[in-house]
Amino acid sequence: MYNELLWIFTQLPDDYIVLDTETTGLPDENGPPDIVTLGITVVRNRKIAESVEFKTRPQKHISEEAQRIHGITNEQAAGFDAFDSQWNQIAEYLKDQLIVIHNASFDWPILLDHVARYGLTMPPVQGVFCSQKAAIAWAQATDLPCSHRGPSLDVLTKVLGVEDLRAKRNGIHGAKIDSRQAARVVEMMRRYGDAD
């Protein structure tokens, strides 16, 4: 029903990466939050090939709310490597790829802020695709709970019958696990769209 509204997912290339971040909190008067973990899931030929996570030492304090979401304390994060020391590895994953992000309007500006802040160079990419925004029309047509940003990853996981990887961690978020979850959801939406 209304699967034709998922046409945009059927246009995705067979190879792309999914990116997710866990941060010190939300943007505030001091600017964007810092990245605490950055997860990348590589999709090749529509199948998950690998997932990696980079743990990066933030300069800002991790808020209590953020700690509840991802379970990483300020003490733990103080032992992580600096963002710029890991950038070459991260950039290698991004290079020449289409980057899929669930809620790109949050994660992408934060990543760009880090690149600028540390004086790094962003590799050439094919573009950024927001799977949350792309699902809005379908979610609204099927009466799914939907904010102005689109349906949440949790809502899509449930309605599409995709295994909930967070459930194994008592609902705790993680950049690696969430990027993998988003990849599974995107591929299921592509299948729904192809089915029409």
Instruction: Give me the CATH number covering residue 16.
Output: 3.30.420.10
pLDDT digits (tens, 9 = 90+) for 36-61: 999 999 999 999 999 999 999 999 99
Q: Which residue has the tokens 């990696």?
A: 52
CA–CA separation, 127 vs 107, rounded Å?
14
- Give the sign of the dihedral formed by CA 61, CA 123, CA 16, CA 149: positive
One-letter amino acid at 30 equals N
- At residue 1, the pLDDT reads 62
Mean predicted confidence (pLDDT) in 179-184: 98
pLDDT at 154: 94
Q: Is the pLDDT of residue 196 over 60?
A: no
Average pLDDT, stretch 137-150? Answer: 93
pLDDT, tens digit, for every residue of 54-113? 999 999 999 999 999 999 999 999 999 999 999 999 999 999 999 999 999 999 999 999
- Confidence label for 195 from pLDDT (cuts 50, 70 and 90): confident
Model pTM?
A: 0.96
Q: How many angstroms separate the CA atoms of 122 and 196, rounded?
A: 38
Block residue for tokens 């599974």 = 184
* Predicted pLDDT of residue 3: 87
pLDDT of residue 21: 98
Cβ–Cβ under 8 Å, residues 58 and 24: yes
What total of structural domains would you count in the chain?
1
- How many C-beta atoms lie closer than 10 Å to residue 136's C-beta? 18
Residue 169 in this model has a pLDDT that exceeds 90: no
Q: What is the pLDDT of residue 117?
A: 95
Residue 164: both structure tokens together = 């909930």
- State which residues form the domain around 150: 3-194
Residue 55: what residue type?
K
Instruction: Give dist(CA 155, CA 112) in Å, integer.
Output: 28
What 3 state SS string does the chain have?
CCHHHHHHHHCCCCCEEEEEEEECCCCECCECCCEEEEEEEEEECCEEEEEEEEEECCCCCCCHHHHHHHCCCHHHHCCCECHHHHHHHHHHHHCCCEEEECCHHHHHHHHHHHHHHCCCCCCCCCEEEEHHHHCHHHHHHCCCCCECCECCHHHHHHHHCCCCHHHHHCCCCCHHHHHHHHHHHHHHHHHHHHCC
Mean pLDDT of the chain: 95
